[in-house]
Amino acid sequence: MIEKIEQIKQQFFDELAHVGSPQALEDLRIKFLARKGFIAQLFDDLKSVSVVDKPAVGKALNEFRTAAQAAFDEKKANLEHASRPAELPVDVTLPGRPKPLGTKHPITQTIDEIRRIFVSMGFSIALGPEVESDYYNFEALNFPPNHPARDMQDTFFISKKVLLRTHTSPVQIRLMERQQPPVRAIMPGRVYRNEAVSARSLVLFHQIEGLYVDQGVTFSDLKGTLVSFAKQFYGSDVQYKFRPTFFPFTEPSADMYISCFLCKGKGCRMCKFAGWLEILGSGMVHPHVFKYVGYNAEKYTGFAFGMGIERIASLRYDIDDLRLYYENDVRFLKQF
């Protein structure tokens, strides 16, 4: 009987070693391990073994059954693992597929560049709301009650006292209300004007406001700062001039011009044959404005400036229709 067990054991392990598919393994299971298989038959035979031999034979048979089941389970696991698809069905030697990258919008690029220059001169960044009150947009900036800028023609009113800001100057007021001098910040953002859309005017555009208030700030600080900006932004050989103008919130006020960088001042389409390009408005903060924010106008002075980003970007990239910035035409945008 022991011999017979040995023989069937041999046969089982031989055949198991040659099993190469789940089907062959299943056939093997039925042949040896199933209820009517060889091992079950051996247990039947055990009944006719003499009482003396039974313990030894029974032990050998039990050991065989346990070993056979374990070997079968292991083979089954191996086959299942091998039949799974490879974990990375990827040819790592193939060249990559490049993803098309977008570019920053030219207005964003222009704001980023202007920010970089002013931050390097010690200015911080401040932001304010686009929905403003009449107080911040006009009154605290010393606009007289019947100033034409308050006209329905220019301003989008939400109610009698609430409007879409027409410039970034109200952020100056908010900043000074919450911070004592020294204050040195630029304030970028969207502004709105109630105008017919054309190549030269939009209802939504961007400005960057600047403000520097401290003891002893003078007009030459204004000029030094803005000339330094213009040289960094337009090139160190740029010519400039300041021309007197009027803003309610500054006194004196000045527009800054640079020599046309296309024709170098000779006169061309870009500068409308003037040789000069206006790039920003500026001035010394009006003492009335300081009164509104509770600053001591005897102790502090300051300068402010404001520039239109679309205008600056158009000069820089020679773009003659402002509407192009907001049509989201990829052929236009990907040039930048």
Judged by the rule CB under 6 A, the positions of this chain that interact with ligand DAH are: 167, 169, 209, 247, 250, 281-283, 304-306
E strands along the chain, which residues?
A: 124-125, 131-133, 162-164, 183-192, 204-214, 240-247, 250-259, 276-285, 301-308
The Cα–Cα gap between 305 and 281 comes to 6
For residues 207 and 244, give the distance between their C-alpha atoms in angstroms, rounded to a whole number.
Answer: 21
Q: Which CB sits closer to ligand DAH, 13 or 246?
A: 246
Nearer residue to ligand DAH within complex by CB, 134 or 209: 209
Q: Measured from the CB of residue 155, what is the shortest distance to ligand DAH in angstroms?
A: 12
In this complex, which beta carbon is closest to ligand DAH, that of residue 106 or of residue 306?
A: 306
Q: How far is the CB of 94 from ligand DAH (least distance, A)?
A: 56
Inter-residue contact 155 to 181 (CB < 8 Å): no
Nearest distance in Å: CB 304, ligand DAH: 3
* Cis upstream peptide for 248 (omega within 30°): no
Kindly state the smallest distance separating residue 138's Cβ from ligand DAH, in Å.
Answer: 11
Q: How far apart are CA 157 and CA 4, in angstroms?
A: 104
In this structure, the dihedral spanned by the alpha carbons of residues 71, 77, 79 and 80, taken in order and rounded to 10 degrees, is 160
Does an H or E element contain 117, and which? helix 106-120
Residue number, 260 or 289, with CB nearest to ligand DAH: 289
Burial class (CB in 10 A: 0-12, 13-18, 19+), 105: middle
Q: What's the min distance (Å) between Cβ of 211 and ligand DAH?
A: 7
Instruction: Please report how close the Cβ of residue 197 comes to ligand DAH at its closest, in angstroms.
Output: 18
Least gap, CB of 208 to ligand DAH (angstroms): 9
DSSP 26-93: HHHHHHHTSTTSHHHHHHHHHTTS-TTTHHHHHHHHHHHHHHHHHHHHHHHHHHHHHHSPPS----TT
Nearer CB in complex with ligand DAH: 123/305: 305
Q: Shortest gap between Cβ of 124 and ligand DAH (angstroms)?
A: 16
Q: d(Cα 260, Cα 79) in Å, to the nearest integer?
A: 79
Q: How far is the CB of 134 from ligand DAH (least distance, A)?
A: 15
Closer residue to ligand DAH, CB minimum distance, 77 or 127: 127
3-class DSSP state of 305: strand
Q: What residue number has its CB nearest to ligand DAH?
A: 306
Task: Give the list of residues 6+ apart from residue 332 with CB closer than 8 angstroms, or none.
Answer: 324
The secondary structure element, H or E, covering residue 111 is: helix 106-120
Q: Which residue's CB is nearer to ligand DAH, number 175 or number 304?
A: 304
Give the nearer residue to ligand DAH in terms of CB position, either 39 or 222: 222
Q: Which residue has the tokens 């035979």?
A: 45
Please say which residue, 25 or 191, places its beta carbon nearer to ligand DAH. Answer: 191
What count of other Cβ atoms lies within 10 Å of the Cβ of residue 313?
A: 23
